[in-house]
Structure 1
Amino acid sequence: MRDLVFIDVEASYSKDISSVCCVSLILVDSKTLQEIEKITYFINSESIYDNYGSTARIDIGINPKDLKSAPPLTKRHRQLRKYLNSKYIVIGHAIENDIRMLNAATKKYRLDSFDCKFLCSQMLYRLFKKENTNKSLDKVAQEINETFVHHHCEEDVLMSFKTIKYICSSLNKNIEEIINEYQITLGENKKHKIKNTSSKLIKPSKHQLIQEIYKKKVKVKNKDPYFYNKIFVFDSKFERNNIELLEKYVVEIKERGGKCSELISEGNVFIDANPDYMCKRKKYIENNQQLEIEIVELAQLLEKL
């Protein structure tokens, strides 16, 4: 079993995920769960610093002076690759967000991505608790009686490590045994493309199923003038409650050269499956009269398919 690298990443500018300013890492022996090394890298993001790590206005507790004097990512890249590589399993809480930030930053500087296998401690804790929803790190800390300062890089990475130690101790198993028991497939980052951590014990949410339907590649069979190069957006209530029909209609639209999206702002045609119901997307259209979007009832669409 490869050793583990726990990670937390923070950004300096709440509106730019590429503005990575701090990366905290803990290298851990996978068999004993003993800490081998702990290190934090400050990075000059060469971006705005607003002291918040997200649009939720979160204090990340970093002094701007520490960032201004720090090297940029181009200088930190080699140091980080020492830990973020295929030699280790990288672990973090909602780690896909951390990987996404690092990918955005490396793309900005035209650097190689940090290609690695990774595991989400948030998902692991959800499986351990046999619950249907993920818990934020502060909620986990409350449940396992740990105190820490949320969204401070060094504190978050340590709390993620403590979460894994708690799970292993409670089950009296090592991390490899737990991965096998929960039928987990490690996530992977390769050439800036992310494949999320998954478990056969967790059924995908409706939102995940919908996203998979929209991402599905379909060969164009007939460039129908009505559908070709247009983006179709479905009524959100229909979308959630009719997954199988949604998939059928999306495939038929794509076969005719059309596209589909969840974002009403991208759409050319809104498909209204419930004329008597005011869903959020329909309300958005009514409140934004400048949107150039055709509204078509589902029955009318079916006549064209």
Structure 2
Amino acid sequence: MIKHLTKTLHRTAYTAIDPTNPSNSATGKTIVISSGATGIGFAIAHAFVAAGASVVVLLARRAEALDEAAGKLPATEAVFQDVRRRLNEGTLASEDEKDAADVDVLVTSAAYFAPHALSLDFSPDRLRESFDTNVLGNMNLVRAFLRPEMPHMPFQPVIVLDVSSITTYTVVPGVSAYGSSKLAFTRLMAHLQSEVSSSFPKIRVHSFHPGAIYTPAMQKTGFASDFIKWDDESLPAGFAVWLTSPAAAFLRGRFVFAAWDVDEMVAMKERFESEPGLCRIGLDVGL
């Protein structure tokens, strides 16, 4: 059974995380989203545009998907970029040489979801693809995003949003390659936040489970549209925008659910400050 932090759970966007809510404004910000042409990444892009972002850069491997997505959103730039390639530090989008120092928010939503199989049946190629995209690829982007900031203290907060998964800490038969690789990257992000917190306090890393969203990737993996009651894509989209607001700063370095009510979490701020292990992936020894 999944334990939830808040009493109120959501399946779709609501007022507190509405991108058009002035408290969630992204006015003047530049947002970069990996795998931004489809699914959750595209929904997040749409939400940041609604929140007033100046520029939303979509990164994806398929040029045709990028062109289609960019045509549906104003204030966007579509950049063909395979995140598995090593990027030059200081450049998030090598084709247009966009300076990473100009970026305010990086959303790492690129993911490879291998078809269901038993752990022993995953081929080396399937495992490698999972880790190449879900860990190394997304880490390429984070490195390019943050390394230019390291020599000096950023004046404005810079934020990494890790679109993670509930499979990072729950054992789900058949998705070991996906869950293990998502855990590896989310764990990397926890280490990163710990490493930069003292010297670079304006760098924020947030990891979150987006909910059960019926994306094209879910369809390709074999899930039926009536498999479960799916959450609406507006939920992770609005939640991602809210996470970049000042109100969510206390959640840096934590793992949270998009379904959890943000007003209830804000009311728990003192609890988060007094419980370092709250909403962190760790080992429960039952003491």
Report the TM-score when normalising by structure 1: 0.29
Report the TM-score when normalising by structure 2: 0.30
